[in-house]
Structure 1
């Protein structure tokens, strides 16, 4: 996509967040959008994901990162997570690169450029007792310690109406503004590798440290709408109690200023994000988080 292609129609501009919406995002750490996708676009996205689950790839990753989320049928009826779907599937990528999504993110982040950071396809089966269906409290920046930006954000895009019964995403109001309590534990460990009760206790301790209550806000999201949350907003989700799978994409987004930085775990080892073995290198040898193959721009320009 060239710079000239980053434009909106008048009808799309009417769907952008207002200054009051941006203030809400800054205050509470989340935003529920207007309807940004049509039924036809979501039907196309779901059809493309069916092909993806059946094994279709337009291209393969050149290297398999150590922490790649890559569900296959052999993994069984667990909650499915598949990273880099925007890279591996042209049809999925075409929908996710919609400039309107980037423009909404640009206003919320206060940026003039938005790039994809990661796109994870999610399928939560209608199996309430499945442990992987519960996503414990966490915030995304913990896993993005190699990123310089504090304004990254995530768009959660369900393929259908998504409410409490589906185990929709739930935000912790205002938690992105908390000063994090130093605990000495390795916060870069993925929530899938940690005990949910441990993360619940960390959330409560951080709230108390900031003199705040834990205010849980489930996000009912009508089809075609999506939620956005700040990279430091605590969030999670419960089991899928519906009779059909909860299908969505978690679209992680970075502002144009974001770049790689070296970061170490508490044990002194380097933090490595999956991109670090895939993307091209900058002139000084660092992983380039602006690599257009893996981190394409979806908005550029003032709004």
Structure 2
């Protein structure tokens, strides 16, 4: 079964009023993050909750044809840890229908100053209301580190909670302006996902890079009302703390790529080439590279007509 790729990118007058202003685009360039206006209705957000529960109960429109080597994929036997399920935009049509609302892609295009925005990846997240659960703490990192197979330096992520989301829930937190830092201390280990790295080492890397740039580590928790979302640049340091509220924190992390992004072979010192999960799933380009424009896995969210 294939995913429908027919799209209408037209925006209503109401949608146009939701786009970032010129000053907000400039502020995103300075800070590396942006809080949106209300892009989803309450009914759309409630449907995301309902669709996610059906997903956790086993409902799928389709499943991945092969299992990538580094797939994050919670199943009930994993227990009450923080849940991550990659490729939810591919496996759940009900979730994909809402995520592919044109206004979301249009906002991303304004921030990235791109004529086209495609999905790169999506992860359904459930942070249980267990204050001491170690998996609930996401260490400081930035996404570009493990997207070295990509050519673009302007990729970005939308964090989309399914409810009002604040500090008590362990909301996503940004290190303001860190995407503009000159990086030091990067090596092959930084191409690994944060789940495969030591939390203390990641904390020290943040501190070293801030000191090298003479910068303050200013941590800004994203307090996000229902229907709103945050965006952050692919080089913005971010993380999240424990959920000490009485309710689960439900969200989707939607990673996005400009239309210009392509696969590149990024070689490690060992001679191995960095592998992203897409590389065993997507079709191939004419010259044999993984095609990060494959509409089945990386559909277009927005294109400037």
TM-score calculated relative to the size of structure 2: 0.97
Aligned mates of 1:201, 1:183 — CA distance in 2: 12
List aligned pairs for 1:127-276, cutoff 5 A: 127-276=130-279
Are the counterparts in 1 of residues 185 and 205 from structure 2 also a CA contact under 8 Å? Answer: no
Distance 1:164 1:288, change over 3 A: same
In structure 2, the residue matched to 1:79 is 82
Aligned mates of 1:182, 1:91 — CA distance in 2: 42
Unpaired runs of at least 5, structure 2: none
Are the counterparts in 2 of residues 186 and 265 from structure 1 also a CA contact under 8 Å? Answer: no
| 1:13 and 2:21 matched | no
SS at match of 2:98: helix
Q: Cα offset for 1:182?
A: 3.0
In structure 1, the residue matched to 2:68 is 65
Aligned mates of 1:78, 1:119 — CA distance in 2: 19
Aligned mates of 1:99, 1:298 — CA distance in 2: 6
SS at match of 1:91: helix
Aligned mates of 2:268, 2:238 — CA distance in 1: 23
SS at match of 2:278: helix
Aligned mates of 1:198, 1:99 — CA distance in 2: 39
Q: Cα offset for 1:32?
A: 0.2
Q: Pick the aligned partner of 2:37 from 34, 39, 45.
A: 34
Cα deviation, 1:154-199, whole Å, max 9, x if unaligned, reads 0000000000000000000100001110343510111112221110
SS at match of 2:189: coil
| 1:124 and 2:131 matched | no
SS at match of 1:25: helix
In structure 1, the residue matched to 2:114 is 111
Cα deviation, 1:44-76, whole Å, max 9, x if unaligned, reads 111111010001111110010000000000001
In structure 2, the residue matched to 1:46 is 49
Counting matched residue pairs gives 301
Unpaired runs of at least 5, structure 1: none
TM-score calculated relative to the size of structure 1: 0.98
Aligned mates of 1:71, 1:98 — CA distance in 2: 26
Aligned mates of 1:270, 1:132 — CA distance in 2: 29
Aligned mates of 1:236, 1:167 — CA distance in 2: 9
| 1:300 and 2:303 matched | yes
In structure 2, the residue matched to 1:291 is 294
Please, what is the CA RMSD of the aligned residues?
1.0
Aligned mates of 1:266, 1:189 — CA distance in 2: 14
